[in-house]
Amino acid sequence: MKKALKLRGYTYLDVAEHLKLSEASVKKMFSTNHFTLRRIDRICEMIEMDFIDLVRLFDEQRQRIVMLSVEQERELIQNSRLFLVAICVRNHYRFDEILCRFGFSKGELFKLLARLENLQLIELHPNNRIKLKVAEDFRWIPHGPIESFFEKHLLKEFLDSDFNNEKDMRIYLHGSLTLGAKESLYRRLNTLSHEFSQLLKEGANTPMSERHNIGLLLAMREWEPAMFTSMRSDGE
């Protein structure tokens, strides 16, 4: 339903006005996935889609890859040029954009894309069009080959910055939350990661000169700094 709204250019406020509810109520309805059939029908009516269209959209998304196998991730890591092309297509670079930005010949790039197609990550179409077969909520395997590579080789490089450029941001937060608040924060971070993927897709047709490479790190876990733990009273 969220994807259908975005495709048609509608917002939660539009849904709220159509259903005669508050925007907060609509946001809660979407965050908890709590819909009555009547409300689903009315939202479909608003966006001019019938229920069958919604089911087809769901099926299309469900059939996309949400995670690679360990073997697939290992193959990408073992070939840095294949890995680079995989990251590029995941970020919606077109064939000519990859060719222009990096030092590939057309023949080499075709071979690398053909390998990604064999791995079921993309489909190659006429006029060098690349269609992704991964879902919007695609993730690397937790603690898998690629996450381990990032942690070993790229995490320190990413954090080794004063983050003083315009629109850079680095925030450290620590506090005690209730279980409900923790679950709410988890949902919001998950939503933000999905939003990042959607923004990548929406900007795919914008010229490369108007796009900026962005690194975003999201992390949350139960944690207390060791320096604080060491000062706890016995028994606490």
The total of other beta-carbon atoms located within 10 Å of residue 125's CB is 9
**Residue 21 shares a structural domain with residue 56:** yes
Q: How far is CA 39 from CA 27, 33, 46, 58, 168, in A?
A: 14, 12, 10, 18, 41
Task: Report the CATH number at residue 74.
Answer: 1.10.10
The 8-class DSSP code of residue 130 comes to E
The 3-state DSSP class for residue 129 equals strand
Range of 197's domain? Answer: 157-226
In-domain check, residue 202: yes
Note the pLDDT of residue 134: 80
Q: Write 56-63 long-range contacts (CB < 8 A, 24+).
A: 57/3, 57/4, 57/7, 61/3, 61/135, 61/136
Domain boundary among 16, 43, 62: 62
In-domain check, residue 183: yes
Q: How many CA atoms lie within 13 A of 198 on its CB side?
A: 12
Task: Report the CATH number at residue 56.
Answer: 1.10.260
**Residue 15 shares a structural domain with residue 57:** yes
The pTM of the full predicted model, rounded to 2 decimals, is 0.66
Alpha helices in the chain (DSSP H): 2-8, 12-19, 23-32, 37-46, 51-62, 70-78, 80-90, 95-101, 106-118, 145-149, 155-159, 179-202, 226-229
Domain count of the chain?
Answer: 3
In-domain check, residue 209: yes
In-domain check, residue 150: no
d(CA 93, CA 96): 8
**Residue 49 shares a structural domain with residue 88:** no
In-domain check, residue 143: no
In-domain check, residue 24: yes
In-domain check, residue 235: no
- 4 touches 47 (CB < 8 A): yes
- Write out the chain's pLDDT in tens, 236 residues: 887 787 677 888 889 999 999 998 998 888 887 888 888 888 888 888 877 777 766 655 555 677 888 999 999 999 999 999 999 998 889 999 999 999 899 999 999 999 999 988 898 999 999 988 887 667 889 999 999 999 999 999 999 999 999 889 999 999 999 998 998 898 888 888 878 887 888 888 888 889 999 999 988 999 988 888 888 876 45
Domain boundary among 62, 83, 108: 62
In-domain check, residue 207: yes
